[in-house]
Amino acid sequence: MKKLLLGNAAVARGAYEAGVTVVASYPGTPSTEITEEIVKFEEIYAEWSPNEKVAAEVAIGASIGGARAMSCMKHVGLNVMADPVFTVSYIGVNGGLVFCVADDPGMHSSQNEQDSRHYAKASKIAMLEPSDSSECKEFTKLAYTLSEKYDTPMFVRLSTRVSHSQSLVELGDREEVALKPYEKNIPKHVMMPAMAIKRHVVVEDRIKALTELAETSELNRVEENGSKIGVITAGISYMYAKEALGDKADFLKLGMVYPLPEKKIIDFAKKYDKVYVIEELDPIIEQHCKALGVNVIGKEVFTLLGE
DSSP classification of residue 246: G
pLDDT of residue 145: 98
Q: What is the Cα–Cα distance from 227 to 230, expressed in whole angstroms?
A: 7
pLDDT of residue 249: 98
DSSP classification of residue 248: G
Q: What is the Cα–Cα distance from 14 to 138, expressed in whole angstroms?
A: 6
pLDDT of residue 207: 98
Which of the four pLDDT bands, split at 50, 70 and 90, describes residue 8?
very high
Can you give the pTM of this predicted structure?
Answer: 0.97
Is residue 253 within a helix (H) or strand (E), and if so which, with residue range?
strand 250-254
Tens-place pLDDT, residues 156-193: 999 999 999 999 999 999 999 999 999 999 999 999 99
pLDDT of residue 45: 98
Tens-place pLDDT, residues 101-160: 999 999 999 999 999 999 999 999 999 999 999 999 999 999 999 999 999 999 999 999
Q: Mean pLDDT for the chain? A: 97
CB hemisphere CA count around 74 (13 angstroms): 20
Tens-place pLDDT, residues 238-285: 999 999 999 999 999 999 999 999 999 999 999 999 999 999 999 999
